[in-house]
Amino acid sequence: MKKYYQLMILAVPLLFLLVHIYSVSAASGVAAYYVGPGETYMATLDGRVRKITNATSYTLFVPVRTLTEQQSFLNNLPAGVTALTNACEWETTAILWGTEYPIVGIGSQCWMAKNLNYATGSNWCYNNNTSNCTTYGRLYDWSTAMVACPTGWRLPSDAEFTTLTNTTGNTKDALVAAGWFNSIFPGRRGTDGWYNGINMYAYFWSSSLNASDAAWLVNLNSYDNTVGRWPAIHGLGQSVRCIKN
């Protein structure tokens, strides 16, 4: 009998240890899951995907049974623990108009990380060459650009472009480092049908108008690091990047 009790005493700590190194998904129906020291874990808490990083030396207990427990955990994170959301919910691609696009979360914004290539309204491929649409995206007049983004996305305002560059740093290199710009310069189409600037310039429509009814745009170029902004007439053919609603 004495040996039996000794065995039970040894078994209890062993079971306790096994529980603490076992990680389960919040979607599996269990009451909690565990994140070990130095581990990062993706979980849905409080209705949003969060990246939980445990920089402590102990195993982290994360309750997922009720919304109240989840909110309490998020409101009282231990020192060394972060639970961060991402504007794109940590997704790196999205299906837009039936085509897969890279997307990137930057600060509070979720952006397409590639120029839109969707045939609608007044749109063109550079030099009327369809292969250029594949490489550079389509060029749209402003009225088409305003409605070209799929449901759940929109043409960004000038203020939203400003938020982007304030977050990344107001340079072309900063936009590249953040994953927003891919160093592809589509050029643009003039109102009389001419094309210019491929591999030199990138022009992006915004939804904002100035007092003269011209639309604000953002410009990047291949030969320096500046981010330009100025108004343009509506009939020009320029690139579109959509931002998530």
pLDDT tens-digit series, residues 103-143: 999 989 999 999 999 999 999 999 999 999 999 999 999 99
Give the three-state DSSP class for 128. Answer: helix
Q: What whole-number distance in Å separates Cα of residue 150 and Cα of residue 198?
A: 26
pLDDT-based confidence at residue 29 (cuts at 50, 70, 90)? low
Q: What is the pLDDT of residue 9?
A: 30
Q: Report the sign of the C-alpha dihedral through residues 226, 232, 238, 241, in that order.
A: positive
Q: Are 185 and 200 in contact (CB under 8 A)?
A: yes
* Per-residue pLDDT reduced to its tens digit, 165-182: 999 999 999 999 999 999
Q: Is the pLDDT of residue 23 over 70?
A: no
Q: Does position 4 have pLDDT exceeding 80, yes or no?
A: no
Cβ atoms of residues 51 and 84 within 8 Å:
yes
Give me the mean pLDDT over the 19-45 stretch: 68
Alpha-carbon Rg for the chain in angstroms: 25
* pLDDT averaged over every residue in the chain: 87
Residue of 67, 64, 164, 165 whose CA lies nearest to 108: 164
CB 165 within 8 A of CB 181: no
Question: Is residue 72 a contact partner of residue 66, using CB atoms and an 8 Å limit?
Answer: no
Q: How confident is the model at residue 22 (pLDDT cuts 50, 70, 90)?
A: very low
CATH class entry, domain 93-244: alpha beta
Domain ranges across the chain: 2-84, 93-244
* pLDDT score recorded for residue 31: 78
Whether this model's pTM surpasses 0.85: no
